[in-house]
A and B are shown apart, each in its own frame.
Chain A
Amino acid sequence: MPEGGGPIQVFESVCEDPYRVAREAAAGGRSVAGYLCTYTPEELFHAAGCFPVRIFGRDKGATYHADAHLPSFACGFLRSVLDMALAGELDFLEVVVFPHTCDTMQNLAEIWKHSVARIPSITITTPVSVGTEPAVRYFSEEIRRARKALEETVGEVSDSLLMKSIALYGAHRERMHRLYEVRRAHPERLSGRQMMATVIASLLMPREEHLPHLDALLAELGGVSGQTGDDRPTVFVVGNTCHNLDYVSMIEDAGCVVVEDDLCSGYRAFAMAARNERDPIDRLARMYLVGTSCPTKHQPGWDTGKDLVEKAQALRAEGVVFLLTKFCEPWGFDYPHLKEAFEGAGLPTLLAAIECNQPPGESFRGRISAFIEMLQTKS
């Protein structure tokens, strides 16, 4: 397991103060574009010379500013983002990008326009329908429109610049897939916390800065061959967004290994497959809409339960933890059938809610400990 120094230390330090890199970049004159959801074509902003940084909100503290704009039943994630904006903590952003994720996101975009005049916003309305030609056409149009808006403020965004950015992000994704592969085979070489730090840091620093550290880490970790020797119960964590490393630590400290995640802020952030369309806008639109999966999207004939069960079985996971931010409507509706699918396949599940974007406490620890005790008794 990597100790002090080296890439992990870089990543953990980034995670400790999530927006430090972005603040420094802005202070140094770079345009920083904040985005909130995986379904944002970051490459476009990168090509325009921006540093696209993922805004996770805060992971603790009250949200008095946002409470004046959002009722209690809006999710803690977006509430804390709005709070940060109103408290002046996001002033390093040149622009904020709103995709279409859910009812809360779409209304936050509206509230933002009226209450956070300081930080302009761009809306790229991602279709809810994925995988259909009309949706791809519409999304392409939205991306084209965003490009035009960027060109009016930041400067030219040529096709060739766009292709370069797509290539960079693609190369980074390949490395991330490799990392996931190695960790699957050898979880004893990288703790869940260290893995999460690597993933989250990649969304908080420029990809080109993250890449060399990632390569160094991959070199350290070695290949997939050989037995793992790790006999802790294996847990598959699925859910929406979580950037507080303590959640993963607490799960593993209960006596298991998080063999993999299917989180919006984790695996799904890198799930876009490489494509070869000649037009960069067409390529981008399809990268995000074809072959990706999320409860906020709809595709006829999808059986996300079957897909996730197959994945859990391939990972030889012994249990599944749903790590869900409370008040997430899309996940709330998917949870029952996914739970049924997992349990139907013999996989016990635990629902662990993240409330008001607070750090994990005794309640979380108690639940996860009880769950791991259950798995240990089973095996």
Chain B
Amino acid sequence: MYYIGIDVGSANTKAVLINENGAVAAYVIVPSGVGLLSAARRVLDEALARAGVDWDQVAAVVSTGYGREIVPNKTKAVTEITCHGRGAFALFPHTRTVIDIGGQDSKAIALSVTGAVAGFEMNDKCAAGTGRFLEVMARALEVGLDRMGPVALTSERPAVISSTCTVFAETEVVSLLAQGVAPSAIVAGLCNAVADRVHGLVARIGVRAEVTMTGGVSKNTAVVKAMERILGVSANVPEEPLIVGALGAALIARELGLKQAT
């Protein structure tokens, strides 16, 4: 029997297929586009195809993410908080704090010693401290989004970005460029700003080692390093940070499937 976790986000839709032992058989990431339903279908079909598995071998499906309700034939919809917590704990069993910096929002999740969610804080209203902030700035600086990390790491004296608001920060960036500040210093400053903003969120639930970072922005090494520096503790980063939520959902699906079977 197999179990599926599907994470329908506003930017990307992800599916993870696991077997009875909880091992990952396949995972798929596609851009969500405007048709969440078709993205969901595609990602599910693709995952099955890659693993060489049929639908009748799938015992349970758990959906998560912004579009979790629209997934058809799901066993259950579970929030990203619970799923990211589960996924991160499965990958790094000593995780007590999960920091998820996604495209649209950021979350801090406190886990108990057994991996259960003990508390959480979310920022889903403000672009600052999310991938969106870096997207906007990458455009303003004409640097590729995936180059922001490497470029930041080349700077020895990051600029200080003081605005907490994305709109204000953009004008600050323009102003700094006009003053002749090196783009790499600005990019480094922006990465620090993201980490700073997210730190505020994390501090409210309290930081406990080990810390695991998930979400697209954790692929940005400069942000991760900044976060580690501020927290004073090193952070685990999964090989594929985007699928942690879907992995957690799959593990929950497995639990539900096994419970049903008994």
Q: Do A and B come from one complex?
A: yes
User: Using a CB–CB distance below 8 Å, which chain B residues touch chain A?
Assistant: 66, 78-82, 116-120, 122, 124-125
Measured CA separation A318–B116 after assembly (Å):
16
24 pairs of residues in contact across A and B, judged by CB atoms under 8 Å = A348-B118, A355-B125, A363-B122, A363-B124, A363-B125, A366-B79, A366-B80, A366-B81, A366-B122, A369-B79, A370-B79, A370-B80, A370-B82, A370-B117, A370-B120, A373-B78, A373-B79, A373-B81, A373-B117, A374-B81, A374-B82, A374-B120, A377-B116, A378-B116
Interchain CA distance A370-B117 in the complex, whole Å:
9
Expressed in whole angstroms, the Cα–Cα distance for A363 and B122 within the complex equals 9
- B66 and A362 contact, CB distance less than 8 A: yes
**12 more CB-based (< 8 A) A-B contacts, given A363-B124, A366-B80:** A348-B118, A348-B119, A366-B79, A366-B122, A366-B124, A369-B78, A370-B82, A373-B82, A374-B116, A374-B117, A377-B116, A378-B116
Chain B residues within 8 Å of A355, by CB? 125
Instruction: Give Cα A362 to B78, complex, Å.
Output: 13
A-side binding surface: helix, strand, loop or mixed? helix
Is A367 positioned at the interface, with any CB of B under 8 Å from its CB? yes
Q: Chain B's interface: helix, strand, loop or mixed, by majority?
A: mixed
Chain A interface bracket (under 10, 10 to 19, 20 to 34, 35 or more): 10 to 19
| A348: B residues at CB distance < 8 A | 118-119
Which residues of chain B come closer than 8 Å to A373, judged between CB atoms? 78-79, 81-82, 117
Q: Can you name the residue of chain B whose Cβ is closest to the Cβ of A326?
A: B125
For the complex formed, measure the closest distance between the CB of A235 and the CB atoms of chain B, giving whole angstroms: 16
Of B66, B118, B122, which contacts A374 at CB under 8 A?
B118
> What are the 9 tightest A-B residue pairs by CB atom distance, in nearest-first order?
A370-B81, A370-B79, A374-B117, A373-B82, A369-B79, A377-B116, A363-B124, A366-B79, A373-B79
B122 to A: closest C-beta gap in Å: 6
Contacts of B118 in A (CB 8 A): 348, 374
A96-B184 Cα distance, complex, nearest whole Å: 59
Question: Contact: A367 with B122, CB < 8 Å?
Answer: yes
- Fill in one digit per residue for A336-379: 1 if any B CB lies within 8 Å of its CB, else 0: 00000000000010000001000000110011011001100110
Nearest A residue (CB) for B125: A363
In the assembled complex, the CB of B190 is this many whole angstroms from the nearest CB of chain A, namely 25
Assembly CA distance A191 to B124 (angstroms): 29
Chain A nearest CB from B29 CB (Å) reads: 21
A348 to B82 CA separation, bound complex (whole angstroms): 15
The answer for the CA separation of A40 and B78 in the assembled complex, in Å, is 44
Contacts of A377 in B (CB 8 A): 82, 116-117
Q: How far in angstroms is the closest Cβ of chain B from A129?
A: 32
A173 to chain B, nearest CB (A): 37
A352 to chain B, nearest CB (A): 11
What distance in Å separates the Cβ of A377 from its nearest Cβ neighbour in chain B?
5
Q: Which residue of B lies closest to A351 (CB)?
A: B121
Chain B residues lying within 8 Å of A369, measured Cβ to Cβ, are 78-79
For A367, the chain B residues whose CB sits under 8 A away are 122
Q: Quick one: closest B residue to A363, CB to CB?
A: B124
Q: By CB atoms of chain B within 10 A, which of A348, A362, A374 has the most? A: A374
**Across the interface, which residues of A come within 8 angstroms of B116, CB to CB?**
374, 377-378
Q: Please give, as numbers and ranges, the residues of chain B lying within 8 Å of A362 by CB-CB distance.
A: 66
Min CB gap A250→B, angstroms: 13
Q: Which residues of A contact B120 (CB under 8 A)?
A: 370, 374
Q: Which A residues touch B122, using CB under 8 A?
A: 363, 366-367
A355 to B124, CA, bound (A): 13
